Structure 1
Amino acid sequence: MNRIIVFLVLLIVLIAALAFGWWAYTLPGKVTVPIGAEEISIKSGAAVALVLALSGLMAAAWWIVSGIFVLPGRIARSRRRSKSRKANAALTEGLLAAEAGDAEAALKLARKAAKHAEDERLKLLLEARAAEANDDWAGAERAWSQLTRLPGGQLAGLRGSAMAASERGDQLTAETRAREALGLKSSADWPFNSLFDLQVSKGEWEKALDTLTTGERRGMIKGDSLRRRRAVLLTAHAVGLPHDEKGAAQKALAEAIRSAPGFPPAAFHGAKALMVDGKAKAAQGVLELGWKARPHPALAQLSRRLVPQDTQANIAQRLQALIAAQPNHRESKILMAEIAMDKAEWVGAIRSLALLVEENPTARLCLLMERALKGYGDPSEAARWG
């Protein structure tokens, strides 16, 4: 399309030139040019043609002279473009090689890019990726660290250096880099996740709680995930406190239960702490709250031993209270069968367990069925379930 337009323009110019030349040729009269004592007469058409020819020669001469002056700049620009093309090709191929796991090619292309690329950030990015592909985590960390000092590269550099430090086992440096990144104004959630995971892996529950609060404030975590994580951290923190800080432990467990009642360990340890304090009634209330949110066999086992050397009637009463909190749940039905066995009501227990086994047989249910059949007096059938 462009060639057609150029051809048409040239054709129009040629036609216009021919028309102008014919017009000039047909002009009447002469042009007299005095040269000293003599005069030279030229036809008007020839004079116009001569002026046009001289103008063309002057324009051509100016174009040639100006071209000579700008030639070095054009050569330099051409070299820069060639260098840029080579750099872009090396960077692209190097990054692809690094992602593909071709460590040798990535390293070779990284050296090539270092010679040609003008953007230092891209050179460092490829250098870091190539080092990672070669399992050179120290080299990768150096490249990422240099990237953090360049405009626009701080967040990416911190992430890469944190990962590299973690790979070479330097958790302290990894945590420091993640904390620096979390302090930046960014919507990226990796600094929060990295810092949180590192603190949890080291059992730094209070620091992890502070990080969780920061993540909540910045909208990086919310809802059930937030509440459950908080409950887990508070429970772990409370369990790890010494006996002389039982008040702080009970407070943390109470907060954990409020945060996520459906997290069984919080209810279990909260009730256990109250039981140790001799507050069996309060402990039972915590267990019922936990059972209502999410029934778990550990809660029932703790309810059985809330009061040392208690009567079977009292134990059954506490277990019935758990069942009442969530009567249709599978764990409640299992607990009903266990209560029946405690009372030696073997037939009722076997019927209840048979229905549960039919729904979903598990090793636990099979062992309970074995116990019920033994109690009923059918050891041969019981042996089939053991």
Structure 2
Amino acid sequence: MLRILSYVVLVLLLGIGFAWLAERPGSLSIIWQGQLIEMSLMVAAAILVSIVALVMFVWWFARTVWTSPHSVRRYFRARTRDRGYQALSTGLIAAGAGNAALARKMSARARGLLRADQEPLILVLDAQAAVIEGRFDEARRLFQQMSEDPETRELGLRGLHVEATRLGAHEAARQYAETAAESAPYLPWAAKSTLEHRCRAGHWDDAIRLLDQQRVAHVLKRAEADRLKAVLLTAKAEDRLESDPSVARDNAVQALKLARDLVPAAIVAAKGYLREDNLRKATSVLEQVWKLSPHPDIAHTYLRARSGDSAVDRLKKAERLEHLRPNNIESLLIVAEAALDAQDFAKARSKAEAAARMESSERVYLLFADIEEAETNDQGRIRYWMGEALKAGRDPAWVADGYVSERWLPLSPITGKLDAFEWKMPFDQVEGAIEDGTISRGEQALSALPPLQTKPQPPAAPENRETHPFIETTTPAAAPAPVRKPAQETPKVQETAPTAVPEPFFGRPPDDPGVRDPAGATDDSKTRLRLF
């Protein structure tokens, strides 16, 4: 574009010059070798321009003839280079598709058309073809050769790391990753692998330093980097809680500044404050995190922060948590459990019912069973709630990559991923419980609750009554007086007053084969009930 513009400007200037000369006529006289040459000024200018153009043409022609061998060589070299790059491109595509034969063929063609020392992609194609064909020793040799070249150093270290990981040489893979991470912290694979290795070894300070380098190199976003650093600081605080509580507390508080809803950091910080007998700050930390993310571990730590508290005191603390986060199932459950410990069965039952209507889970039904056992000791109702617990969904737990842990861990023991644990329902119950645990399910469980068991008064037994008598109960309004059977027969006692059949548990007759269903009896006049 600039060349065309320059030509246009040059022609324009020449036109302006000739027009200026045409408006100012004159003559030009030249005496050369005793001869007088006269001409007009316009002719003289035209001759001058023609001479300049002729000189330029002669110079271009001479230069073209002089440099023609080099131009011919350059033309054929460019043509060969283009064919080589075309073969290299085809070979890389074939290697990515897993076509080892075509990749090897294109590699040989590219090596014949291009110089391997000037084009490092040929080594990459050879290494990929060797990996596809299973020639891993040759692939490692090529990757090692690439790692010695500054231009392909990172690519060679990447290939060596992948091969070491495939062979199970984790120590060698760690060394390759750390070498790459130290020289190029902006490489995500190297930084991630090195970070995981340092976390497995418990080198939290080195892991935090590497994470800061990644943040400066803009490998991670600010929010992600803050979250991972908070996790590392929490893991470091947990390790130092017993040996140095003050340092552990400071690390946990710093972690909470980066991730305000990190439950393990709040628990470690609270325990660190409690080691210093600073109950006020410990409870303040727990309350702040409870507002953001209610968790049973926070509630248990909060209620037992002071060892001398009675059950009533813990109930008041539980109600304080419910006030901070109302209409939450964790708040309701913690108040119900504290009320059960304080023998306030009415409040425990009301809070548990509210939690069941909000979300039915295994923990809710087990709490109902505990309340029944402590208050009424009604075995029928206890068994009912235990059965509901078996059918309900599992309680949330710390889960990472399908692994369920009783406590929070900084990284997954399965994949080594940092910050992998989440507080959620285990994977085997994601699709739902045996019976759908919805609000309607909780309402159904409460409505189907069997009434309290009433023990009927046993009739007066005869003097010669055995341990397991057979009692026959008649349903008509009037019945003859009880008759003593002979001694050789099984003693029977017949009541005169009509007695209602005891209402069975769970709304239907028990599964005991010795109990007959009154609704399914063929004899409508009598119902026999064996009591054992």
Q: TM-score of the superposition, structure 1-length normalised?
A: 0.67
Query: What residue is the counterpart of 1:261 in the other structure?
Result: 260
Output the CA distance in 2 between the equivalents of 1:328 and 1:137. Answer: 61
1:307-329 deviation per Cα after TM superposition (whole angstroms, max 9, x unaligned)? 33531122223333333333343
Correspondences of 1:195-234 after superposition (within 5 Å): 195-234=194-233
Count residues with an aligned counterpart: 317
Correspondences of 1:273-352 after superposition (within 5 Å): 273-308=272-307, 310-352=309-351
Shift of 1:121: 1.1
Query: What residue is the counterpart of 1:140 in the other structure?
Result: 139
Does 2:93 correspond to 1:96? yes
Q: Aligned to 2:385, which of 363, 382, 385?
A: 382
Partner amino acid, structure 2, of 1:259: L
Output the CA distance in 2 between the equivalents of 1:190 and 1:114. Answer: 30
CA contact (8 A) 1:138 1:168 kept: no
Shift of 1:173: 4.5
Output the CA distance in 2 between the equivalents of 1:278 and 1:257. Answer: 20
Output the CA distance in 2 between the equivalents of 1:247 and 1:106. Answer: 61
Partner amino acid, structure 1, of 2:214: G
Does 2:363 correspond to 1:364? yes
SS of residue paired to 2:385 = helix
SS of residue paired to 2:360 = coil
1:327-385 deviation per Cα after TM superposition (whole angstroms, max 9, x unaligned)? 34332232233233333444544443344334433222232233334445333432332
Output the CA distance in 2 between the equivalents of 1:153 and 1:274. Answer: 52
1:53-111 deviation per Cα after TM superposition (whole angstroms, max 9, x unaligned)? xxxxxxxxxxxxx9xx97x99699769846863x4455344323332334565456545
SS of residue paired to 1:261 = coil
Partner amino acid, structure 1, of 2:330: E
Output the CA distance in 1 between the equivalents of 2:338 and 2:300. Answer: 12
Output the CA distance in 1 between the equivalents of 2:141 and 2:359. Answer: 56
Output the CA distance in 1 between the equivalents of 2:189 and 2:277. Answer: 45
CA contact (8 A) 1:287 1:322 kept: no
Partner amino acid, structure 1, of 2:337: E
Output the CA distance in 2 between the equivalents of 1:304 and 1:265. Answer: 16
Partner amino acid, structure 1, of 2:98: G
Is the alpha carbon distance of 1:317 and 1:139 closer, same or farther for their aligned partners in structure 2, counting shifts above 3 Å? farther
Shift of 1:233: 0.7
SS of residue paired to 2:88 = helix
Partner amino acid, structure 2, of 1:329: N
Q: TM-score of the superposition, structure 2-length normalised?
A: 0.51
Partner amino acid, structure 2, of 1:292: K
Output the CA distance in 2 between the equivalents of 1:337 and 1:297. Answer: 13
Query: What residue is the counterpart of 1:165 in the other structure?
Result: 164
Is the alpha carbon distance of 1:269 and 1:98 closer, same or farther for their aligned partners in structure 2, counting shifts above 3 Å? same
- Between stretches 234-243 and 341-350, larger displacement belongs to 341-350
CA contact (8 A) 1:84 1:117 kept: no
Shift of 1:209: 0.4
Output the CA distance in 2 between the equivalents of 1:260 and 1:219. Answer: 20
Shift of 1:291: 1.5
Shift of 1:129: 1.9
Partner amino acid, structure 1, of 2:312: A
Shift of 1:187: 5.7
- Between stretches 280-289 and 253-262, larger displacement belongs to 280-289
SS of residue paired to 2:334 = helix
Q: Taking every aligned residue pair, what percent have the same amino acid on both sides? A: 26
CA contact (8 A) 2:366 2:386 kept: no
Is the alpha carbon distance of 1:244 and 1:383 closer, same or farther for their aligned partners in structure 2, counting shifts above 3 Å? closer
Correspondences of 1:176-191 after superposition (within 5 Å): 176-182=175-181, 189-191=188-190
SS of residue paired to 2:244 = helix
Partner amino acid, structure 2, of 1:369: F
Partner amino acid, structure 1, of 2:290: W
Output the CA distance in 2 between the equivalents of 1:325 and 1:136. Answer: 64
Is the alpha carbon distance of 1:306 and 1:194 closer, same or farther for their aligned partners in structure 2, counting shifts above 3 Å? same
CA contact (8 A) 1:373 1:381 kept: no
Output the CA distance in 1 between the equivalents of 2:176 and 2:317. Answer: 52
CA contact (8 A) 1:175 1:198 kept: yes
Output the CA distance in 1 between the equivalents of 2:146 and 2:275. Answer: 56
Does 2:269 correspond to 1:270? yes
Is the alpha carbon distance of 1:151 and 1:84 closer, same or farther for their aligned partners in structure 2, counting shifts above 3 Å? farther
Give the root-mean-square deviation of aligned CA atoms.
3.6
Output the CA distance in 1 between the equivalents of 2:170 and 2:225. Answer: 24
Correspondences of 1:3-152 after superposition (within 5 Å): 81=79, 85=83, 87-88=84-85, 90-103=87-100, 106-107=103-104, 109-111=106-108, 113-118=110-115, 119-134=118-133, 139-150=138-149, 152=151
Output the CA distance in 2 between the equivalents of 1:221 and 1:237. Answer: 21
Is the alpha carbon distance of 1:74 and 1:257 closer, same or farther for their aligned partners in structure 2, counting shifts above 3 Å? closer
SS of residue paired to 1:120 = coil
Structure having the higher Rg? 2
- Between stretches 187-196 and 293-302, larger displacement belongs to 187-196
**Any gaps of 5 or more consecutive residues in structure 1?**
1-65
Partner amino acid, structure 2, of 1:94: G
Structure with more of its chain in helix, by fraction: 1
